[in-house]
Amino acid sequence: MAKLTKLEPLSNLSLVDKVEIRLTEYFKENNLKIGDQIPKELEFAEALGVSRTVIREALLRLRTIGMIESKKRKGMVLSQPDIIQNFEKVLESNLLGDKTLKDIFELRLILEMGMADLLFARKTEKDIEELSRIVSHEDDNGLDSTIFSLEYEVAFHGKLYQISNNSTLQRFQDLLLPVFQYVHDHMLPDASKFRYSGGKFISHRDLLNELIEGTPESFRVAMRQHLEPHFERVLTSFKS
């Protein structure tokens, strides 16, 4: 048989798909901004020559990603999509594959390593005080500082994200906490008896001191050592 050029279907888009595209085009064409009122369902239906059902389904998709909000009798308005919100349901669904979860775990390490410059540029006296409080509590409880304690881990690192003053980043981190925990518990080799290179362990207090007296560079070095067991596990068990 002769070799044929691949014949693609004329259009594998459903009616709702097309309407959805058309609607977003419409918003752009008319340069509509957040808070702007948009026509009602029946007007869209008539204008596009489709049933209200199809319009509703297309609009519902946009509502699902937070692009529009609707209230009874008031109609619909464009709204600021919440990037993080969509993440939430997806994560809660427990349907993410292991590869994706690993990717996200790595992402956290990347973020903590890359945050340093923002931290130094934006730290305040109050921030330092609060971090000190957290670290003190940790010490008071007389825990062997090499032991992983989730509570203080979350408190300390969470505060760092807060200092970054990047609310998108912060919310992202909040959301990812369960993922970290899951990956930590289930998918990586046990690191409870990890030997730090050179035997030197960098505690939260050490990190705090770096944040007070050090530089972004020195802080990164310290953070890298603090995260050493996590990096070790990621970089060895994920040969791809």
- Interface positions with a copy of itself (CB under 8 A): 24, 27-28, 33-34, 56-57, 60-62, 64-67, 78-81, 83, 86-87, 89-90, 92-97, 99-100, 103-104, 106-107, 109-118, 121-122, 164-169, 216-217, 220-221, 224, 231, 235, 240
Does position 53 interact with DNA (CB under 7 A)? The reply is yes
Instruction: Count other C-beta atoms under 10 Å from residue 240's C-beta.
Output: 3
Return d(Cα 91, Cα 106) in angstroms, integer.
16
Q: How far is the CB of 10 from DNA (least distance, A)?
A: 9
Q: Which of 56, 61, 184, 205 binds DNA (CB under 7 A)?
A: 56
Give the binding range for DNA (CB under 7 A) out of 39-47, 133-141, 156-164, 229-237: 39-47
Q: Which of 32, 50, 96, 154 binds DNA (CB under 7 A)?
A: 50
Of 171, 213, 221, 178, nearest to 197 (Cα)? 221
Identify the three-state secondary structure at position 224.
helix
Does position 70 interact with DNA (CB under 7 A)? The reply is yes
Contact between residue 58 and residue 23 where contact means Cβ atoms under 8 Å apart: yes
Of residues 157 through 186, those in contact with DNA by CB under 7 A are none
Q: How far is the CB of 6 from DNA (least distance, A)?
A: 16
Return d(Cα 109, Cα 114) in angstroms, integer.
9
Token duo for residue 193? 């008896």
Q: Which does 73 bind (CB under 5 to 8 A by kind): a copy of itself, DNA, none?
A: DNA
The DSSP secondary structure of 93-130, one letter per residue, reads TT---HHHHHHHHHHHHHHHHHTHHHHHHH--HHHHHH
Chain-centre distance of CA 221, in angstroms?
24
Q: Which does 141 bind (CB under 5 to 8 A by kind): DNA, a copy of itself, none?
A: none
Q: Which is nearer to DNA, 14 or 86 (CB)?
A: 14
Q: Which is nearer to DNA, 43 or 98 (CB)?
A: 43
> What phi and psi values does residue 77 have, to the nearest 5 degrees?
-130, 150
